[in-house]
């Protein structure tokens, strides 16, 4: 057949460009596609995915490269491709539809709808021919075409029902304000679903869910419930031992298809690395166990090596596939290991390398003849089995990892999604600033500042208009709520790492712009900005997904900014936003980041004002602070000489009787301040007092 003009060739998204040579007559999302659908009286076939998604690749090869499927789509539908990472508003909306219609969702997401963007069919991956209990496109497309032409009223009835359900799914503010009891309920639910053997929650598939662990750390800090910290430690340890962690090159894969963390989907996402860095760093602070700091360092090595652009920003992700096969970059035959390392029974045992392979194909469950590497035994247990010192064993395995890494580096790498998106960069800025401060690593802070500078230069126009995506010199797409609040989070962490007032000014400006552009009349924030016209419903999202939700992060930012700046604007907006959240009692684990932020309001929350002539003067204080997990403490630096900055964002909070220049710390608990102290131990005692 004659190939149509595929409009995706002009798009910047790597995912859309992956489909630019399909025989399907793809449109990007926009008026041209919907006007064509209306003028030709055709339904719209919408396909949403992302560049590093394995099953998206499968569906493209099976169906969208297939001439028969393409002919059916081109004849009877107007087909639209959307990159979910470029247009998360579209993805959120139609993923909600899929979950309402089917009870679950995923990618690739398949929606069939009217030219007015109202859906009547939703599914995820669909094969070309029916199998695995899934209808095939060869059967589905003619059936939908026939229904569209002959039973339009029945489809319109379905559409009306879906739209009513979609609108009804919008959360309503709770009649009361959530409090400490909801946090206890959430902890009990996590404890109920906790996997005692392998860590994590539920059965399979298993996602790292680092923001769940961040909640548990805060719950432990408040309640001293040792079980909460045990769950965090065991989960982080088992994930690090598993194949969800890249044992050779570091970094975490997206999720595991099994309960044991040993059968991952191999894509690596920037956002996951950022949140996991935070989880390991905070657990290091809580426990002082070096292995958690070491894991955070290893993740950062991966990010700076493989996801950092030369311009300073961070790329989005790496693919699950290479050479047309999922995970081939990461998998090894037994013979490959032996050729690389020689016959080394210790390495084979440590990483569970089997002659016939240990890796199963997901759909069939059949062994592939290849091995995915993970630690079969905890290192301490293996050291006892081998009668070796654990430190010596660790060094031995690390040497083997280095050799395997050098060998693996000669393979064809997975494709990299090299677009730079604002929200995920905001998360990585926050993670690197936190890690740099806690681990006293200036290079991490420097990398965070480099990414922040990149965003301000390329995606923040005239300090007014924030954009969502940058690629190959081209910035586009008006920012969403998550862009504003995740980036503000990053700048708040940069302030804590550097005490540079400009970062608080920027964070405050971003949050005020978010209030202006995304506020709803009944409080809370919409995901898409005011004036959005190309989606049928502006959603307010209060539940977390694989990431913390924007409304919960906004609450966290507003409270932090209130404690730093004492600007009542931030406190008032935080109280309003708190009241906007729906009742969390029925599904508490869907609101864990909100419940984490809520503990600021529950109190006590602390403010520490450090004063001295230079940063060196306050070094004892900052060293003592970074060695402890103090999630409800805000630290502010005030020079002991007059601040020449006329636009300073941080007000002068020093005790007016102490202007001698001697380094002191002033600890304030809620709104009550203690006498200044020159002793770091006294400062910590005041912070940790009940």
Reduce the DSSP state of residue 358 to 3 states and report it: coil
Query: Could you give the CA distance from residue 519 to residue 485 in angstroms, rounded to a whole number?
Result: 13
Task: With cut-offs at 50, 70 and 90, classify the pLDDT of residue 600.
Answer: confident
Sheet holding 606-612, edge to edge: 633-639, 606-612, 664-669, 672-673
Question: What's the average model confidence in pLDDT over 409-427?
Answer: 97
Q: Are 51 and 98 in contact (CB under 8 A)?
A: no
pLDDT in tens, 140-193: 999 999 999 999 999 999 999 999 999 888 877 765 556 667 889 999 999 999
Nearest 5°: phi and psi at 573?
-65, -35
CA dihedral of residues 46, 418, 437, 503 (deg, nearest 10) = -70
Q: 66 is written with which tokens?
A: 């297939």
- Give the residues across from 325 on adjacent strands: 322
Query: Could you give the CA distance from residue 141 to residue 132 in angstroms, rounded to a whole number?
Result: 18
Task: Please name the residue ranges forming H helices in 461-549.
Answer: 481-498, 501-518
271-289: string of b/e by CB count within 10 Å (b at 16+)? bbbbbbbbbbbbbbbbbee
Task: With cut-offs at 50, 70 and 90, classify the pLDDT of residue 671.
Answer: confident
Mean of pLDDT over the chain: 93
Query: Which pLDDT belongs to residue 640?
Result: 75
Q: Long-range contacts for 127-132 (Cβ within 8 Å, ≥24 apart)?
A: 127/59, 127/62, 127/63, 128/62, 128/63, 128/66, 128/69, 132/363
Nearest 5°: phi and psi at 686?
-65, -40
Number of Cβ within a 10 Å radius of residue 659: 12
Asked whether residue 366 carries a pLDDT value surpassing 90, the answer given is no
Task: With cut-offs at 50, 70 and 90, classify the pLDDT of residue 1.
Answer: very low
Query: Could you give the CA distance from residue 153 to residue 159 in angstroms, rounded to a whole number?
Result: 10
- Give the residues across from 476 on adjacent strands: 469
Query: Could you give the CA distance from residue 396 to residue 171 in angstroms, rounded to a whole number?
Result: 54
Task: With cut-offs at 50, 70 and 90, classify the pLDDT of residue 2.
Answer: very low
Q: 79 is written with which tokens?
A: 């087909």
Query: Which pLDDT belongs to residue 306?
Result: 98
Query: Which pLDDT belongs to residue 133?
Result: 81
Task: With cut-offs at 50, 70 and 90, classify the pLDDT of residue 533.
Answer: confident
> How many residues appear in the chain?
690
Q: 379 is written with which tokens?
A: 């290192």
- Give the residues across from 367 on adjacent strands: 360
Task: With cut-offs at 50, 70 and 90, classify the pLDDT of residue 650.
Answer: low
Number of Cβ within a 10 Å radius of residue 430: 27
Query: Could you give the CA distance from residue 174 to residue 166 in angstroms, rounded to a whole number?
Result: 19
Burial class (CB within 10 angstroms; exposed 0-12, middle 13-18, buried 19+) of 406: exposed
pLDDT in tens, 463-480: 789 999 999 999 999 999
Beta-strand pair 465-471/460-461: antiparallel
Q: Which CATH code for domain 181-327+417-602?
A: 1.50.10.10
Return the H-helix or E-strand segment holding 496: helix 481-498
Question: What's the average model confidence in pLDDT over 643-662?
Answer: 56
DSSP single-letter state for residue 201: B
Q: Are 216 and 231 in contact (CB under 8 A)?
A: yes
Q: Which CATH code for domain 7-168?
A: 3.40.30.10
Asked whether residue 426 carries a pLDDT value surpassing 70, the answer given is yes
pLDDT in tens, 93-137: 999 999 999 998 999 999 999 999 999 999 999 999 998 788 999
Asked whether residue 237 carries a pLDDT value surpassing 50, the answer given is yes
Query: Could you give the CA distance from residue 222 to residue 218 in angstroms, rounded to a whole number?
Result: 6
Q: 605 is written with which tokens?
A: 């929350």
The full set of domain ranges for the chain reads 7-168, 181-327+417-602, 334-410, 606-688
Return the H-helix or E-strand segment holding 79: strand 78-83
Query: Which pLDDT belongs to residue 653?
Result: 53
Query: Could you give the CA distance from residue 678 to residue 641 in angstroms, rounded to a whole number?
Result: 17
**Helices and strands: H and E segment counts in the chain:** 25, 20
Question: What's the average model confidence in pLDDT over 225-250?
Answer: 98
CA distances from 349 to 116, 375, 380, 467 (A): 59, 9, 14, 50
Q: Are 542 and 582 in contact (CB under 8 A)?
A: yes
Task: Please name the residue ranges forming H helices in 20-66.
Answer: 31-40, 54-59
pLDDT in tens, 255-313: 999 999 999 999 999 999 999 999 999 999 999 999 999 999 999 999 999 999 999 99
Annotate 387-431 with three-state secondary structure: CCCHHHHHHHHHHHHHHHHHHHCCCCCCCEECCEEHHHHHHHHHH
Nearest 5°: phi and psi at 86?
-80, -40
Q: 2 is written with which tokens?
A: 């004659």
Asked whether residue 565 carries a pLDDT value surpassing 80, the answer given is yes
Identify the CA nearest to 394 among candidates 408, 383, 407: 383
99-130: string of b/e by CB count within 10 Å (b at 16+)? ebbeeebbbbbbbbbbbebbbbbbbbbbbbee
Question: What's the average model confidence in pLDDT over 379-398?
Answer: 93
Asked whether residue 194 carries a pLDDT value surpassing 60, the answer given is yes
Task: With cut-offs at 50, 70 and 90, classify the pLDDT of residue 642.
Answer: low
Identify the CA nearest to 523 among candidates 172, 108, 158: 172
Query: Could you give the CA distance from residue 659 to residue 677 in angstroms, rounded to a whole number?
Result: 13
Query: Which pLDDT belongs to residue 131?
Result: 86
Who contacts 415 (Cβ-Cβ below 8 Å, separation ≥6)?
A: 14, 51, 52, 318, 319, 321, 322
């Amino acid at each position: 057949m004659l190939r149509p003009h595929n409009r995706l060739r002009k798009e910047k998204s790597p995912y859309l460009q992956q489909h630019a040579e399909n025989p399907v007559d793809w449109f990007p999302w926009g008026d041209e596609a919907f006007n064509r659908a209306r003028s030709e009286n055709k339904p719209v076939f919408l396909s949403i995915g992302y560049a590093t998604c394995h099953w998206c690749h499968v569906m493209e090869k099976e169906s969208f490269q297939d001439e028969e499927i393409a002919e059916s789509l081109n004849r009877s539908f107007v087909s639209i491709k959307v990159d979910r990472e470029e247009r998360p508003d579209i993805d959120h909306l139609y993923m909600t539809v899929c979950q309402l219609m089917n009870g679950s969702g995923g990618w690739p997401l398949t929606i069939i709808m009217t030219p007015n963007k109202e859906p009547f069919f939703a599914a995820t991956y669909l094969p070309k021919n029916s199998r695995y209990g899934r209808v095939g496109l060869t059967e589905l497309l003619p059936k939908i075409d026939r229904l569209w032409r002959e039973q339009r009223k029945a489809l319109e009835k379905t559409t009306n029902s879906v739209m009513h359900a979609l609108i009804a799914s919008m959360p309503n503010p709770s009649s009361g304000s959530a409090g400490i009891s909801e946090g206890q309920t959430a902890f009990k639910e996590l404890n109920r679903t906790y996997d005692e053997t392998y860590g994590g929650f539920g059965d399979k598939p298993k996602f790292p869910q680092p923001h769940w662990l961040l909640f548990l750390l805060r719950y432990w800090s408040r309640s001293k419930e040792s079980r909460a910290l045990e769950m965090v430690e065991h989960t982080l340890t088992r994930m690090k031992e598993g194949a969800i962690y890249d044992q050779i090159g570091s970094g975490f894969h997206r999720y595991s298809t099994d309960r044991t963390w040993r059968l991952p989907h191999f894509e690596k996402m920037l956002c996951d690395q950022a949140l996991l860095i935070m989880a390991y760093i905070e657990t290091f602070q809580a426990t002082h166990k070096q292995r958690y700091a070491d894991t955070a360092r290893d993740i950062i090595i991966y990010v700076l090596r493989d996801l950092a652009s030369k311009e300073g920003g961070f790329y989005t992700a790496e693919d699950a596939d290479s050479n047309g096969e999922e995970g081939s970059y990461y998998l090894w035959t037994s013979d490959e290991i032996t050729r690389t390392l020689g016959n080394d029974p210790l390495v084979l045992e440590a990483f569970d390398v089997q002659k016939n392979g240990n890796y199963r194909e997901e759909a069939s469950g059949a062994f592939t003849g290849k091995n995915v590497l993970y630690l079969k035994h905890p290192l301490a247990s293996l050291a006892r089995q081998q009668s070796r010192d654990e430190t010596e064993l660790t060094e031995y395995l690390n040497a083997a990892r280095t050799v395997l890494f050098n060998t693996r580096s000669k393979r064809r790498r997975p494709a990299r999604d090299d677009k730079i998106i604002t929200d995920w960069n905001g998360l990585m800025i926050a993670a690197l600033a936190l890690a740099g401060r806690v681990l006293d690593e200036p290079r991490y802070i420097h990398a965070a500042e480099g990414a922040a500078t990149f965003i301000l230069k390329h995606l923040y126009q005239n300090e007014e208009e924030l954009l969502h995506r940058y690629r190959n010199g081209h910035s586009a797409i008006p920012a969403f709520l998550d862009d504003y609040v995740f980036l503000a989070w990053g700048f708040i962490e940069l302030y804590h790492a550097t005490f540079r007032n400009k970062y608080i000014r920027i964070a405050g400006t971003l949050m005020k712009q978010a209030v202006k552009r995304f506020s709803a009349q009944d409080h809370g924030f919409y995901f898409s900005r005011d004036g959005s016209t190309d989606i049928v419903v502006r959603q307010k999202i209060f539940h977390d997904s694989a990431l913390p939700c924007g409304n919960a992060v906004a609450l966290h930012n507003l409270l932090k900014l209130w404690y730093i700046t004492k600007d009542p604007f931030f406190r008032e907006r935080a109280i309003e936003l708190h009241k906007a959240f729906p009742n969390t009692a029925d599904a508490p684990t869907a609101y864990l980041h909100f419940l984490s932020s809520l503990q600021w309001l529950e109190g006590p929350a602390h403010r520490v004002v450090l004063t001295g002539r230079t940063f060196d003067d306050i070094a004892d204080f900052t060293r003592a602070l970074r060695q402890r997990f103090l999630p409800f403490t805000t630290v502010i630096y005030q020079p002991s000489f007059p601040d020449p900055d006329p636009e300073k964002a941080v007000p002068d909070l020093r005790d007016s009787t102490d202007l001698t220049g001697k380094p002191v710390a002033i600890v304030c608990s809620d709104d009550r301040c203690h006498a200044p102290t020159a002793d770091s131990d006294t400062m910590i005692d005041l912070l940790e007092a009940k």
